[in-house]
Amino acid sequence: MRAEMPVIVFDGVCVLCSRWVEFVLKHDRAGRFRLAAMQGTQGRALLQAHGLSADDPASLLLVQDGHGYTDTTAIIRVLRRLGGPWLAVATLLRLVPRFCRDPAYRWIARRRYRLFGRRAACRIPDPAQAWRFLD
């Protein structure tokens, strides 16, 4: 893995998180992001290295240039890198004060299984996209 490639750590059994991964794969045609399920060795290690619980994370994690970003900041940074119309969406999200958007994000994150469901196992990557996934 090239050190400069950002890594998105996500909950591999969460349906909402899996949809986020599908969104990133669809719109990141240039392959700017790598993905790591928190249930995997590398995803777990990245969570722990950035002070997040690997057993009960309340946020996704974006690791970029050695820094960890969580909550809506992580989402905004991903959208900005996707460019195109997603840059405008990121700009609009940044207009909402962080003290409003992050608690809303955390409220959903804590209830993600109840609201969106849970898979029995982590997503198996399509062979053509397997290089994007760590572990």
What's residue 3's pLDDT? 53
Do 29 and 18 form a contact (C-beta atoms < 8 A)?
Answer: no
Residue at 132 is within a domain: no
Do 8 and 62 form a contact (C-beta atoms < 8 A)?
Answer: yes
89: exposed, middle or buried (Cβ count in 10 Å: 0-12, 13-18, 19+) = middle
Residue at 81 is within a domain: yes
Whole-number Å distance between alpha carbons of 77 and 70: 10
Residue at 19 is within a domain: yes
Residue at 87 is within a domain: yes
When divided into structural domains, the chain yields a total of 1
Residue with tokens 């909950």: 11
> Residues 6 or more apart from 41 whose CB is under 8 A from it?
135
Whole-number Å distance between alpha carbons of 111 and 33: 26
What's residue 123's pLDDT? 72
In terms of DSSP H, where are the helices of the chain? 15-27, 41-49, 71-82, 85-95, 98-110, 112-116
| 52-92 residue pLDDT tens | 988 877 789 999 999 999 999 999 999 999 999 999 999 99
Residue at 55 is within a domain: yes
Dihedral, CA atoms, 111, 125, 44, 12, nearest 10 degrees? 10
Range of the domain at 116: 7-122
Residue at 18 is within a domain: yes
Structure tokens at 80: 């900005």
Residue at 78 is within a domain: yes
Residue 128 has pLDDT above 90, yes or no: no
Residue 98 has pLDDT above 50, yes or no: yes
